[in-house]
Amino acid sequence: MKKTLMASLVALTLSGCASSQLDQPFSLTIAHINDTHAHFDASDVRLTFADNAVYTQAGGSARLLSYANQLSEQAKDQQHAFLFLHAGDAWQGTGYFKQHQGAMSADVLSRMHLDAMTLGEREFSLDNARLASFIEQVNFPVLAANLDTRQEPALSEQENLQPYVLYRFKGNKKQQVASVKEAGKYPVVAVFGLINQDLASQGANLGHLRVSDEISRAQSTVNALKEQGVNYIVALTHLGLEKDRELAQSVNGIDVIVGGHADALLGDFSDIGGTKNEPYAQSFTNPNGRGRTCVVQSGQRGQAMGKVTVTFTYDGRVSQCQGNNTLLVDSRFYRDASHNEQQRLNDAQLEQVNQHIAHSSKVAIVEEDKSLQQYIAKQYRPSLLQAYGKTIGMVPNTLNHATQPVDGKSSQVAPLVAASQWYWANTPAVQSVTGRQVDFALVSAGTPQQNIEVGVLKTGQINMGLLPSTEALSLVSLSGRQVAGVILEAINSAIAKGADGSQFPYVAGLRYEFNETSPGRGYVNNLEYQQQGQWTRLKPNQQYQVALSGFHSQDTLFDAQQVLTDRLDLAYVNGKLAAFPVARLTKNAHGKIAPDYINQPLNCQDAQVSCEAAAVAFTEYVQQVHPTLTPVTETGISLNRL
């Protein structure tokens, strides 16, 4: 009896030396957001209750902060540990970012009391000096375990960019610690970051940064944390849902993956007029067959927040993982998208809406945090409203942008962008500069940067949010065979395993069928263009004039233009449209493709030059053709997947 007791005490002592975190069950609540894309203000949304449409606003930084504070208080009452995490892509997407770049993001996110953030591809859209400034200014750790900064001067000495962070919990009270030893007897949660190893192919400006394989780096990081005695491990990633699932099934020891890069808001929102997407919290078995990893993501544009509560067994394994995404809405509702006070719901109608919301776990009325709302309104909003300018159209229902037209999630935005470029290139004003009749337009899914929200549409929302790119819109002659090659290469790139879909080709004045023959591969069929109102098959050797946006790094286009091309890049110089003729394309030692101009090179960074022809095209298209902006009736795409 004494020997058994002594052995038990020795085992318990040894266990305590390794880690004291196993003394009692542990529960962790995580509030999380991702892909907020500089949506600091609330955005307009359309909801449906009992087949009746109503309009209100959702999200925004002040509302997210208010809800995060509510969840923190709930966790405190339940004696749960609590973390508030951002899974990347805080940059780009609104006029706020175009005006202030990373500075406003650093300011506002720091006021939201985040515990950690990882980096998405949008954080690499400027240059490493400005990314370094953002990381230095925020008051929370920025995490990226698979990012090697040693050869990048702008980031090599940045102390706030870390592989992981450790938080000690005394009940609900947390404190950042340097080691498990510093935590004493209290539980420690590690959060480590992972960024996409394919950032370079997504157009990220990496400089001398190097990104390593996500899976191998994740496993080595987990192993190192386990050796320190950490038993609760969260991966904060910006890889996309498919890669998160692969990570969960390929790495031992991750308890929760909080991800980003999501197009859809996970969960079933069909009862409020949304879509039924995949379940929010899914659990996957690790390769050792013993551990399990819970995977969650929230949506985009800061309209919703995810909340997951993870309960652990005595030996540190996940026993329960539960939660959901919640759309955070204002208390004011209207009968139409104008949000005119005359269209505001009366008391009886409002009561019905409130009853529906009270019985739904997917939507909540949340008032904005007054302090943050007032700060944004005073410090930043006046200059943005001035820059947004005049109203050019009305959007009756939000037009959603998704990269690939599969599973009923085709982009409603990219076909409109393609239609605008086809229309604009053939207007007399543009033809007087180019001297060309354009047969059709090709636009990559990565060209539009966001949805087009319900409500009024203003000029600045186009050039500062939807189409902020500084890449020129091009006109180029391609043979029918080359057009087919461009489309095929783009689709194969977009549907490859782990791809973000940004290369997917949307069209106007053209239609095609793609048939997948094996996973991620296939062929293009029935390639036709609209000739004098009739659909006509493209001839392999005939030349066609194409408006092109977003494919300039493609091998097929490089092969077609490296010797001789008639390409024109369109930009505005001192407010006047100008064409910049290209002689050929060249490729540097790093594989980057660039045009050699015949005369004056096009420099989109020049203060007198504007490369926003795509935004101008869309603006004029809305004003002159489509002032009530609704989806095109036919996208021209038939995609047959296995």
Number of domains in the chain: 2
How does pLDDT run across 62-95, given as a tens digit for each residue? 999 999 999 999 999 999 999 999 999 999 888 8
Asked whether residue 154 carries a pLDDT value surpassing 80, the answer given is yes
How does pLDDT run across 296-328, given as a tens digit for each residue? 999 888 999 999 999 998 888 899 999 999 999
- pLDDT (0 to 100) of residue 514: 92
Which of these, 514, 403, 597, 538, lies nearest to 546 by C-alpha position? 538
Query: Is there a single domain that holds both residue 343 and residue 484?
Result: no
Q: How confident is the model at residue 5 (pLDDT cuts 50, 70, 90)?
A: very low
Last residue of a domain, one of 323, 353, 381: 381
- pLDDT (0 to 100) of residue 2: 35
Tokens 């024109």 locate to 568
Question: What DSSP character marks residue 420?
Answer: H
Query: Is there a single domain that holds both residue 355 and residue 394?
Result: no
- pLDDT (0 to 100) of residue 202: 65
Task: Please give the residue that has the higher pLDDT: either 24 or 150.
Answer: 150
Q: What is the dihedral of CA 143, 147, 150, 151, to 10 degrees?
A: -130
Asked whether residue 483 carries a pLDDT value surpassing 90, the answer given is yes
b/e code 378-396 from CB counts within 10 Å (16+ = b): eebeeebeebbeeebbbbe
Q: Residue 70: is it exposed, middle or buried by C-beta count within 10 angstroms (0-12/13-18/19+)? A: middle
**Partner residues linked to 450 by β-bridges:** none
Q: Residue 325: is it exposed, middle or buried by C-beta count within 10 angstroms (0-12/13-18/19+)? A: buried
Asked whether residue 438 carries a pLDDT value surpassing 80, the answer given is yes
14 domain-assigned: no
φ, ψ for residue 387 (rounded to 5)?
-70, -30
199 domain-assigned: yes
357 domain-assigned: yes
- pLDDT (0 to 100) of residue 263: 67
Q: How confident is the model at residue 407 (pLDDT cuts 50, 70, 90)?
A: low
CATH number of 523's domain: 3.90.780.10
587 domain-assigned: no
- pLDDT (0 to 100) of residue 468: 81
Asked whether residue 462 carries a pLDDT value surpassing 70, the answer given is yes
Q: What would the mean pLDDT of 346-372 be, rounded to a whole number?
A: 93
For residue 476, what are the domain limits?
A: 389-559+607-640
Which of these, 444, 368, 470, lies nearest to 101 by C-alpha position? 470
Task: Please give the residue that has the higher pLDDT: either 551 or 318.
Answer: 318
Task: Please give the residue that has the higher pLDDT: either 282 or 550.
Answer: 282
Query: Is there a single domain that holds both residue 56 and residue 176?
Result: yes
Query: Is there a single domain that holds both residue 241 and residue 176?
Result: yes
Q: How confident is the model at residue 125 (pLDDT cuts 50, 70, 90)?
A: confident
48 domain-assigned: yes
| 3-state DSSP assignment of residue 176 | strand
- Work out the percent of the chain whose per-residue pLDDT is above 90: 65
Mean pLDDT computed over every residue of the chain? 89
Query: Is there a single domain that holds both residue 245 and residue 284?
Result: yes
And the tokens for 590?
Answer: 């790093």
Query: Is there a single domain that holds both residue 369 and residue 396?
Result: no
Asked whether residue 350 carries a pLDDT value surpassing 50, the answer given is yes
- pLDDT (0 to 100) of residue 251: 97
What pTM, to 2 d.p., does this model score?
A: 0.79
Q: What would the mean pLDDT of 31-35 be, rounded to a whole number?
A: 96
Task: Please give the residue that has the higher pLDDT: either 183 or 163.
Answer: 163
Asked whether residue 469 carries a pLDDT value surpassing 90, the answer given is no
Query: Is there a single domain that holds both residue 429 and residue 472?
Result: yes
Of 14-18, 217-221, 343-347, 361-365, the range with the highest mean pLDDT is 217-221
- pLDDT (0 to 100) of residue 404: 64
Last residue of a domain, one of 327, 362, 381: 381
Query: Is there a single domain that holds both residue 466 and residue 528?
Result: yes
Query: Is there a single domain that holds both residue 362 and residue 427?
Result: no
How does pLDDT run across 513-536, given as a tens digit for each residue? 999 888 878 899 999 999 988 999
Task: Please give the residue that has the higher pLDDT: either 409 or 618.
Answer: 618
- pLDDT (0 to 100) of residue 283: 95
Q: What would the mean pLDDT of 438-450 be, rounded to a whole number?
A: 91
Query: Is there a single domain that holds both residue 136 and residue 169?
Result: yes
CATH number of 229's domain: 3.60.21.10
Q: Is 430 within 8 Å of 420 (Cβ atoms)? A: no
Last residue of a domain, one of 356, 381, 406: 381
Strands (E), 339-472: 363-365, 391-395, 440-444, 455-458
φ, ψ for residue 521 (rounded to 5)?
-140, 155
Query: Is there a single domain that holds both residue 356 and residue 500?
Result: no
514 domain-assigned: yes
Q: What would the mean pLDDT of 322-340 be, rounded to a whole number?
A: 91
- pLDDT (0 to 100) of residue 18: 40
6 domain-assigned: no
592 domain-assigned: no
Query: Is there a single domain that holds both residue 420 and residue 276?
Result: no
Q: Which of 101-110, 369-378, 539-548, 551-560 has the lowest mean pLDDT?
A: 551-560
- pLDDT (0 to 100) of residue 470: 66
Asked whether residue 459 carries a pLDDT value surpassing 60, the answer given is yes
Asked whether residue 420 carries a pLDDT value surpassing 80, the answer given is yes
